C-alpha cells in the first residue's frame, strides 16, 4: 500500500492557511490531479462527495472530515483510489505554519499494475499542491507549476 508523506513550511497565519485548505470546493485550484468536485451531502464538518481526476472518467467517492484549523481527513470510499489522505496544519508560531500531507492509499483494478508509476505521480502532485498552497497563503501566486518549470 503506497504511503506518501510531504510537508511545507508556510509563512502565514493559521487562520489564512486554514481558509485556503478548507475551501474544498476549490481543491482543483491547488491539487491539479483533481479535475472537478461534486458535493453530494454535508452535515456539519462531514462532506460526502465525488471527485473526478484528470485521468479516468469515473467518479471517486469520498468522505471529507474538516477539523477546524488543524486538519482535513479524506477517505477514498469507491473508485480507482482507495484509502486515506490527511492534511495536518500545525502552528509553529503566529505567522509560521507547517502543512503535512499524508497518503495511505492503494489502487484498484488494472490501476494496481501501474501502482509504482501512479504513486510517483501522486507524490510529485502532492509536492506541487503544497507549493501552490504555500504561495497562495503567502500572497504570492505561483508563476508556474513545478512540472512546467522542469520542462
Q: What is the pLDDT of residues 102-123, one digit of tens each?
A: 999 988 887 778 778 888 989 9
Return the number of other C-beta atoms located less than 10 Å from residue 66's C-beta. Answer: 19
SS3 of 107-119: the string is ECHHHHCCHHHHH
With beta carbons less than 8 A apart as the criterion, state whether 24 and 119 touch: no
Average pLDDT value for the chain: 89
SS3 23: coil
Q: Who wins on pLDDT, 61 or 57?
A: 61
The one-character DSSP state at 134 is: H
Architecture of domain 3-146: 2-Layer Sandwich (3.30)
- Grid cell 489502487 is found at 107
Quote the pLDDT of residue 56: 73
Amino acid at each position: 500500500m503506497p504511503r506518501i508523506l510531504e510537508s511545507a513550511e508556510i509563512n502565514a497565519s493559521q487562520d489564512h492557511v486554514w481558509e485556503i485548505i478548507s475551501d474544498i470546493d476549490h481543491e482543483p485550484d491547488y491539487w491539479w490531479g483533481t479535475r472537478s468536485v461534486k458535493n453530494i451531502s454535508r452535515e456539519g464538518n462531514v462532506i460526502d462527495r465525488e471527485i473526478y481526476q484528470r485521468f479516468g472518467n469515473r467518479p471517486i467517492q469520498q468522505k471529507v472530515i474538516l477539523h477546524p484549523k488543524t486538519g482535513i481527513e479524506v477517505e477514498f470510499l469507491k473508485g480507482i483510489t482507495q484509502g486515506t489522505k490527511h492534511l495536518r496544519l500545525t502552528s509553529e508560531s503566529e505567522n509560521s505554519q507547517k502543512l503535512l500531507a499524508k497518503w495511505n492509499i492503494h489502487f484498484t483494478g488494472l490501476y494496481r499494475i501501474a501502482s509504482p508509476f501512479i504513486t510517483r505521480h501522486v507524490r510529485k502532485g502532492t509536492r506541487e499542491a503544497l507549493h501552490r498552497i504555500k504561495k497562495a497563503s503567502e500572497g504570492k501566486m505561483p508563476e508556474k507549476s513545478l512540472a512546467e518549470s522542469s520542462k
